[in-house]
Amino acid sequence: MSKEDNLNKNWKKDFPIEKQLATSVSRRDFAKFLTLVSGGLMVGSGLVAAKAYIYPKEQVEGDHFVCKKDEVPVGGTRAFVIEGSTIPYILIHLENGDFKAYEQKCTHLSCSVFYKPGTGIIHCPCHEGSFDAKTGDVLAGPPPRALPGLDVFFKGNDVYVKAAVQEKNPA
């Protein structure tokens, strides 16, 4: 097929735009696209706010039995879930004798965290995040927030958990 034939093909008449022209993005279009992105981010921000106010995160209600005290050795952990919820928690028996309960989902990308016995550190293996086992605060790595925890209390030899009391800074 000669070049002349190709040029006279019908589709070239129907779509008489050169390839360079068809693929180039003008600065005007780029500026408009940036404004579209800006609008999208604004809507996203609105959705985040709306979600937080209309469907707030459900709090754990009531007291929940986890296990007996002597079922968890010092430095040991026990995974549990609360009835009616799918959030995994871990109960940790610290070396100083305290019991602590945290969500088992890393606040970075929801990987499973585990307690490193003897160190006082809850570790996330995915991206080397570390949390303080006493408070749940972030010690190292990419997690942006502290691990959400539950309050642990005892009834005799039984270990129970309930929703952590919100610490609100008095304004």
Partner 1 sequence: MSNFRRSQNQSNPNKLNAILSSLIFILILNVSIQIWLLYAALNNALDNNKEILIPAFVASLILFLIGFSWLYYLPKGNFKK
Shortest distance (Å) from residue 22 CB to partner 1: 18
- What residue type is assigned to position 94 of the chain? L
Q: Which is nearer to partner 1, 8 or 35 (CB)?
A: 35
| Binding piece for partner 1, criterion CB under 8 A, among 3-11, 12-20, 32-40, 75-83 | 32-40
Binding residues for partner 1, how many (CB under 8 A)?
25
Which of 9, 12, 49, 158 forms a contact with partner 1 (CB under 8 A)?
Answer: 49
Binding of partner 1 by 87 (CB under 8 A)? no
Q: Which is nearer to partner 1, 34 or 81 (CB)?
A: 34
The residue ranges that bind partner 1 (CB under 8 A) are: 27-28, 30-32, 34-35, 37-39, 41-42, 44-46, 48-49, 51-53, 57, 107, 144-145, 166
